[in-house]
Amino acid sequence: MQDVLIIGDSISLGYTPIVAEILKGRANVSHNPGNAQYSSYGLRQLENWLGEEHWDLIHFNWGIWDLHYLEPAADPLEPSTNAFNRDGVRRTTPEQYAENLNAIVKVLQSTGAKLIWGSITPLPESVKMACHKGEEVLYNSVAREVMESHGVDFNDLYGHAIGELNRIQPPEDVHFTPEGYRYLGEQVAKVIAAALDSRQ
């Protein structure tokens, strides 16, 4: 039995039980406590989440919360949804995102675990969101560049989901249906299983 840690926001919280179910008997699958929110928050919490445990593999993601637009006077390091304003300012610029991810990867690499990055899943077209559809593509390209520079595997959840959105994602919602989380979870489990096999 190998120990797997999944770090991420509510999307990962949705698919982690599926991953744990599929890998039952093969790996112990855990998720960081609560929602990993945005990359600056994750960087501050990372040591606590890693704890003293030995992790064989870590599948991690940040992005949707980084894409939030906030009131200009809001503190970008505070998660409050009361500050959301899609006409405001970005919580995390692409440059800050790259800097945070570089720092996060260095911490994760120090564990000796196999690392897999999960890309940001597609955003719907909705004026109800504090994000702008399409910007996830930019941030995914930033993340891919960072991960490639560190030799971290890239799990393209965006590409996996984009052609199935009508079936797996409710309109105007970044989250997924139960079928959608099953669809994502199967992909994550497949990638994790292959990586665990390669370590044996």
**Which domain does 149 fall in, by range?**
2-199
What is the reported pLDDT for 36? 97
pTM recorded for the entire structure: 0.95
- Structure tokens given for 4: 């797997």
Asked if residues 154 and 144 have their Cβ atoms less than 8 Å apart, the reply is: yes
What is the reported pLDDT for 148? 98
Asked if residues 188 and 31 have their Cβ atoms less than 8 Å apart, the reply is: no
Burial status of residue 1 (CB atoms within 10 A of its CB: 0-12, 13-18, 19 or more): exposed
CATH of the domain at 75: 3.40.50.1110
pLDDT 10s digit of each residue in the chain, 200 long? Answer: 899 999 999 999 999 999 999 999 999 999 999 999 999 999 999 999 999 999 999 999 999 999 999 999 888 888 777 899 999 999 999 999 999 999 999 999 999 999 999 999 999 988 788 999 999 999 999 999 999 999 999 999 999 999 999 999 998 899 999 999 999 999 999 999 999 988 76
Amino acid identity at 58: I
Q: Number of structural domains, the chain?
A: 1
> CA nearest 56: which of 2, 124, 20, 110?
2
Burial status of residue 178 (CB atoms within 10 A of its CB: 0-12, 13-18, 19 or more): exposed
Sign of CA dihedral 123, 126, 129, 131: positive
Provide the 8-state DSSP code for 59.
Answer: E
What is the reported pLDDT for 198? 84
What is the reported pLDDT for 118? 98
- Measured CA to CA, the distance from residue 161 to residue 150 in angstroms comes to 25
